[in-house]
Structure 1
C-alpha cells in the first residue's frame, strides 16, 4: 500500500497514509525526499524546505504560513505553522463543470412519504414542540406516555443491568419489561424537540428559534406537530403561525396548546393527548410510495474529523452529492467556519453576483462576531482534529469543503431560511456537530451524510444520519456508530466510483425505511438550536 499522498500537483506538503520512519527515502513527483523526522499516520510533511513566512499549500490552496524555517521532509506541526487563508472576492468567473455519469441511477427509486408541497419524506414522524423551556417537563410526561402506549419505547439494557445488580447479580431474579406493540404501522416515530430557549434572550433569539421550529414542521420527514406553549414567553404561538404561513408554507396539521389558557395542567395535557391521537389516526393513512432520487435532499456534515477525512470520506460524499444533484436532487453543505480558506472556489461556483455577495457577507459577519470576543475561524480545529493532523482551520476547511463535490452552487441560505433550489446549497451553520445537523434538518434535508475519523454518536431527531468513517480502523473500534467505511479507499484501494454506488444504495435502503442507521438504533435524537452567538 502506498504510504503517502500529494492531494494536488501544486501542493508543497504530502499526507502520510501510514506511519513513516525518520530516514526513509520517498520518491515523490520524480524527486527523492529523505524524512528528517518520524511522520505519524494522517500528518503532513514538507516536499521541500520552507523559510519563515512561506505559504503551505494543500488541495491547491494556501492553508497556513511557516512560523519558522522548516527542513525538507519535516513534520508540519502547530509549532511551525499558523493558520492563513487566501483573500477572496467576487469575479466574473466562467465556471466549467462536467456532470458525473448517472447511468442506471435515473431508474432507481426509494419508498418515501409524499407531501402536498412536492417534498418526499424518508420517514413519517409526528413531533412535539415546546415554544419555551417551561414546557420541557410537560413534554417529558407526554413522551413517557406516547412512547410506552404506542409501541415506540426502546428497551433500556442498562436499566436491566442495574436491576440485576440490585438483585445481587442474579439475572434470573427478574423479568424483562414487556414492550407494547407498535400501534400505527405508517408512523416511524413520535419525537420530542426539547430545548432551553423561547424566553429570557433577545427578540432575535426568539425569532431564530421560531424559524427553526417552523422548518422542522415543514421538513418532509414530519407529518404534523403538537405545539406546547406557556403563553407569556418571547417566542409566541402567533410568531410560529406567521412563519408557517409566510416563510415556511405548509398545510400540515399543527395543534396548539397554551398552558395559561387552561385551568389545570391535567386539562391541557389530557386535551393534547386526545387531539394528537386523533391526528395520528389520520397521518397513519399515509403510506410509502416510490419516488425518484431527485426527491432526496442530502445534508452534508462532518464531525470528529481526522487527517483522512479530507481524502476519503469527504470527497466520497462529494461524488454522491454531485450525482444526486445531476439527477435533479439537492445537497446542502453546512458549517461555514469550515469553509474558511476555500471561499474563492465557492464564490467562483456561484450562479451570479447577488448569491456570491450573500455568501461573502455572511462569512465576514460571522467571522467578525467571533473576532470581537477573541475568537475567530482560525480557532475552529478541536484538540482531536489537531492531534490527527488537522493543524489549521484552512487545512480542515480544504478537506471539509470536498463534501460539496464540484457542482455549481445553486444558492446560499442563511440560518433560518429553507432550501428550495435544486443543486448544491450552502447553509450557514456553526461547525458544532449537533447545532449544524439540527440546522440541516430544520432547513431542508431529508437525510444526512456525516463523515467522521475519530468517531461521534451524533444523530438527529427527525432525519436519518448515515455515519461514514474516513479510516478502516474506526468501524472495528466503534462498530456501533459507523454505517459505512470510506477508509477502504486506502485500506483496500477500492475505487471511488465503486464506493459511491455502494453508498447511494445504502442511502436508498435508509430512505425507504428498510435499513436503520446506527444513530437511529441508539436513539440518538439530537436537537440543539443555534442562538446565533459565537459558536464555531
Structure 2
C-alpha cells in the first residue's frame, strides 16, 4: 500500500503509523492509495516522527517496519503524533525460530580489489600507523607527549606513514587481576597492537599497575613488529615509567624508539588486495527516525555486497539489537549461533538490572528528539546495517573475528567503546550512520560518516562523508547502497574521510570496562 502524499512515508502495509518526511503542520492530510478517507494531522510534527494512521487503543501494539515497537500507553487517534507521551516499550514475546530462514549464500563475486598495504605476514591494512600503547591511564600523558613531539619534529619525513597515534585510556588498574575485565582490556590492547593498520608499536606502562605489560605480552602472544614490511620477531618494545626513570626520560626514550621504527614503517606501498580482505565495522550513533529507513538499510546493502565479495561485516551494539534479535536468530547459520545471540540478550538484561537500569533507557534524548521512541524501534532500524545474509558467528567484545560474512560482536551501544571493540577484533574500515550528527574518528581505522537525511548532510558538510538522505527524495535503497559499497572501497584504498582530514580520532579509543573499580 502506498500513500498519495509526498509528506508521509508508509514503511509496511501492517504498520499503523506513517513517518513524517518533513516538518508537518496541523491539519495536513494523509491520503492512502486504497481510497480510505484522508486523515488529518492533529499537531505540528517534526521530520522523522510517527503519526497514527488508525485508532490505537491502550495496550494495543504499535507497528513500524511491520514489527511491534511498543504498546500504546494512552488512546491514540488517527493523525495523532506517536511518541514517548503515548507509547511505551512494554514486554515482547519473541519467537526465535532458530535457523528457520537461513538465506541462500549470495552469488559470489571475484576479481574486485582495493589498494591497501600488505604486511609481511599477509595481513591487509587500509592505513599505515605507528602506535604507542598505554597499559594504564598513568602512562597516558607520556604517550601523548611523545606523539606530540614526533608529529611536530619528525613525522613529515615519512610520507607513507599516516600518523602516530597514542592509544590511551582511563583504565588499566583497580580491577581484578586475571579477571574478566583484565582479560578484556588485554584483548583490546593486543587487538590494536596486532591490527594490520598498526605497522609498528611501543608499549608504555607505569610499572605497578594491575594491567602489567608482561601479562599483556604473554596473554596476547605479542611479538616485536620490526616495521611495516619486515617479519615479526622477538619481544615487543616495552617501557615502564618507573624503571626508565620518570616522565621526561620515558618520553625521550619512547621518541627514540619510534624514530628507529619509522624508516621501516615508511617502506610500504599500496598494492592491489582482494576486497574479500575488507572487514567492515558497522556503527550507528546520534540516530534519528530516518536511521532505519535510509542510512542503515543502505549500509545493509553495502554489507551484503561485501559478503558477496567474500569480505566480513560486523554488527555491534548488542543493546541496540534488543527486541529485534528474533530477526537475526532466524538467519543464524546454526541454532548454536542463534542461541549465542539470545544468551547475550539475557546477559544484558541481568547486567543492566544489577545497576537498577533498564535497556529501554536507550534511546538517548537526542535519539528521541530525532523521532525514536523505544529501544525496539531503535533496534529494528539498527540491525538493518547487517543486511540480509546469514549470521555466521557471534563474537565476544574485542575477540578476533575469524569468520567471513555477516557476524555480530557483543559491544555496548556507546559509540567509542563499541567501535574500539570492533577495531580490536580486526575491522579495518568503519561505516558510521548518523541522523543527529557525529564527528567520530577512530585512528588507526578510517570512519565513514553516513547522514540519514539531507539537511544534516548539508549542515555538517565538514563531517559527513555520504548522504543517504537522497533515499527520501526518491533514490532507491539498493542504488544508494551500491554507491556506499564503492565508497567503502575508495576509503579502504586511501581516500581520506572527513574525520581524517580534520585530524579526528585520537580521543575515541575507549576500552569497555564491565566490572567494578576496586
Normalised by the length of structure 2, the TM-score is 0.91
The aligned counterpart of 1:220 is: 196
Deviation of 1:275 after TM superposition, in Å, equals: 2.8
Q: CA-to-partner distance for each residue in 1:263-305, whole Å, 9 max, x for gaps?
A: 4555444433333322222222222110111111001001111
Query: 2:106, 2:11 → 1: CA distance?
Result: 20
Q: CA-to-partner distance for each residue in 1:374-427, whole Å, 9 max, x for gaps?
A: 212111011111112101111111111111111111110111311110011101
Q: CA-to-partner distance for each residue in 1:26-53, whole Å, 9 max, x for gaps?
A: 2336133412413332111122111111
Query: 2:358, 2:218 → 1: CA distance?
Result: 35
Is there any run of 5+ residues in structure 1 with no aligned partner, and where?
A: 152-181
Q: How many residues align?
A: 499
1:112 to 112, 116, 128: 116
Q: What does 1:12-51 align with in structure 2 at a 5 Å threshold?
A: 12-28=16-32, 30=34, 31-38=36-43, 39-51=45-57
The aligned counterpart of 2:206 is: 230
2:139 to 135, 140, 147: 135
Query: 1:291, 1:87 → 2: CA distance?
Result: 46
Is there any run of 5+ residues in structure 2 with no aligned partner, and where?
A: 226-230
- Whether 2:426 is the aligned partner of 1:420: answer no
Segment drifting more, 273-282 vs 411-420: 273-282
Query: 1:394, 1:323 → 2: CA distance?
Result: 27
Q: CA-to-partner distance for each residue in 1:430-463, whole Å, 9 max, x for gaps?
A: 1111111222211121000001111111110211
The aligned counterpart of 1:329 is: 311
Query: 2:326, 2:48 → 1: CA distance?
Result: 26
The aligned counterpart of 1:456 is: 438
- The question of whether the paired residues in 2 share the 8 Å contact of 1:197 and 1:206 is answered with no
- Taking a change above 3 Å as real, the CA distance of residues 419 and 378 of structure 1, as seen in their structure-2 partners, is same
Deviation of 1:533 after TM superposition, in Å, equals: 5.3
Partner SS for 2:202: strand
Partner SS for 2:12: coil
Deviation of 1:90 after TM superposition, in Å, equals: 4.7
The aligned counterpart of 2:281 is: 299
Q: CA-to-partner distance for each residue in 1:436-493, whole Å, 9 max, x for gaps?
A: 12222111210000011111111102110000000000122111110011101113x1
Normalised by the length of structure 1, the TM-score is 0.88
The aligned counterpart of 1:517 is: 497
- Whether 2:456 is the aligned partner of 1:474: answer yes
The aligned counterpart of 1:429 is: 411
Query: 1:266, 1:387 → 2: CA distance?
Result: 48
- The question of whether the paired residues in 2 share the 8 Å contact of 1:10 and 1:60 is answered with yes
Q: CA-to-partner distance for each residue in 1:208-262, whole Å, 9 max, x for gaps?
A: 2111011111222111210001221100112211232299x99478311123333
- The question of whether the paired residues in 2 share the 8 Å contact of 1:63 and 1:85 is answered with no
Query: 1:101, 1:355 → 2: CA distance?
Result: 23
- The question of whether the paired residues in 2 share the 8 Å contact of 1:147 and 1:190 is answered with yes
Q: What does 1:285-364 align with in structure 2 at a 5 Å threshold?
A: 285-364=267-346
- The question of whether the paired residues in 2 share the 8 Å contact of 1:214 and 1:240 is answered with yes
Segment drifting more, 111-120 vs 45-54: 111-120
Q: What does 1:167-246 align with in structure 2 at a 5 Å threshold?
A: 182-203=156-177, 204-245=180-221
The aligned counterpart of 1:123 is: 127
Partner SS for 1:487: helix
Query: 1:311, 1:429 → 2: CA distance?
Result: 23
Query: 1:11, 1:533 → 2: CA distance?
Result: 41
Query: 2:369, 2:240 → 1: CA distance?
Result: 49
Partner SS for 1:245: coil
- Taking a change above 3 Å as real, the CA distance of residues 320 and 208 of structure 1, as seen in their structure-2 partners, is same
Query: 2:232, 2:96 → 1: CA distance?
Result: 39
Deviation of 1:96 after TM superposition, in Å, equals: 4.2
Query: 2:335, 2:472 → 1: CA distance?
Result: 39
Q: CA-to-partner distance for each residue in 1:36-88, whole Å, 9 max, x for gaps?
A: 41333211112211111101111122110111111122210211110135333
- Whether 2:495 is the aligned partner of 1:495: answer no
After superposition, the CA RMSD in angstroms is: 2.2
